[in-house]
Amino acid sequence: MNTTNQQSKIGLITGGSRGIGKSIALHAAKRGMGVILTYNSNPEQGEAVAKEIIDNGGKAVALKLDSGKIGSLEGFINQVTEVLKKEWNRSDFDYLVNNAGIAQRTLIKDTTEEIFDELVNVNFKGVFFLTQKIIPLIKEGGQIINISSGLARFAFPTVAVYGSLKAATEGLTRYFAKEYAGRKIRVNSVAPGAIDTEFGGGKGDEAHRQQIATMTALGRLGEADDIGAFVASLLSDDSRFVNAQRIEVSGGMFI
């Protein structure tokens, strides 16, 4: 079964205005999927991604979502319901990609409760409650992909909370897969390695980037499209028996 053409499918991608999320949205649209993408602080970026998809013959809508504010989720889900009806004449969608997140750059000794709570709210609590609240809209046999991180497997200084929360998200992935198996909804996590994007405050200097590249079997940092293309390919019935898995896309870091 070849599902390269996904014209009957709709995907919701959080944090789809830049970096990996933008790449996932664009690659999903190239495969024919309808796309609902979210942004938080920069509506211009979100609208620009939606416009790029539309200009290339696809269908996309950008919506605001602050996934760390649980109280706003009800209103967001109402917006999704309205958009599905208006743009696609549907009451459900097929794929959810939990990509939105914030980075950490503090040593354990310098991590305040405020920093800790913000990281938890966006990177874990937000994923849990958005998925819990929106899963009734996901079509039977659909799929959820949680974007994790290679930092759930290996450790670097300054990202202890972030990496630990990504490990928790991988555990949560299996629990959602277990509890929603009756609806044939598959839930997997994709764990990028070191990706050359602006996430977390910049790409770093060239010496640091080269150092990271030497830790990877393929000898380079990843690009956003390395992840975006893979996630888009996973969002199909070609992966219909892949469930409750952690899939690392890191070029072979620390092997």
Q: 18-48: per-residue pLDDT in tens?
A: 999 999 999 999 999 999 999 999 999 999 9
Q: Looking at the predicted structure, is the pLDDT value of residue 236 above 60?
A: yes
What local confidence, expressed as pLDDT, does residue 206 receive? 85
Centroid of chain to Cα 50: 17
pLDDT at 203: 57
Q: Bridge-partner residues for 37, per DSSP?
A: 13, 62
In whole angstroms, what separates CA 86 from the centre of its chain? 25
Sheet holding 186-192, edge to edge: 60-64, 34-39, 10-13, 93-98, 138-147, 186-192, 246-249
> Quick one: 135 exposed, middle or buried, by C-beta within 10 A (0-12, 13-18, 19+)?
middle
Q: Where are the domains of the chain?
A: 10-249
Instruction: Check residue 219 and give left, alpha or beta (phi > 0: left; psi -120 to 50: alpha).
Output: left
For the segment 125-135, what is each residue's pLDDT rounded down to a tens digit? Answer: 999 999 999 99
Distance CA 194, CA 128 (A): 25
The CATH number of 10-249 is 3.40.50.720
The residue-averaged pLDDT of 176-195 equals 97
Q: What is the pLDDT of residues 38-85, one digit of tens each?
A: 999 999 999 999 999 999 999 999 999 999 999 999 999 999 999 999
Copy the structure tokens of residue 53.
């998809």
Query: Is the pTM higher than 0.75?
Result: yes
pLDDT tier, 1 (very low <50, low <70, confident <90, very high otherwise): very low
DSSP letter for each residue of 212-237: HHHTBTTSS-B-HHHHHHHHHHHSSG
Q: Does position 182 have pLDDT exceeding 50, yes or no? A: yes
Per residue in 210-240, is it b (16+ CB within 10 Å) or e — as a string?
eebbebbeeebbbebbbbbbbbbebbbeebe
pLDDT > 80? residue 202 = no
Residues that are catalytic = 162
Model pLDDT, residue 201? 46
Question: Which tokens in the block code for residue 238?
Answer: 């070609």
Contact in structure between 61 and 16 (CB atoms under 8 Å):
no
Q: Residue 114: what pLDDT? A: 98
CA-CA distances (angstroms) from residue 136 to 81, 133, 142? 11, 7, 11
Instruction: Please name the residues in contact with 55: beta carbons below 8 A apart, sequence gap of 6 or more.
Output: none
Distance between CA atoms of residues 86 and 91, nearest Å? 10
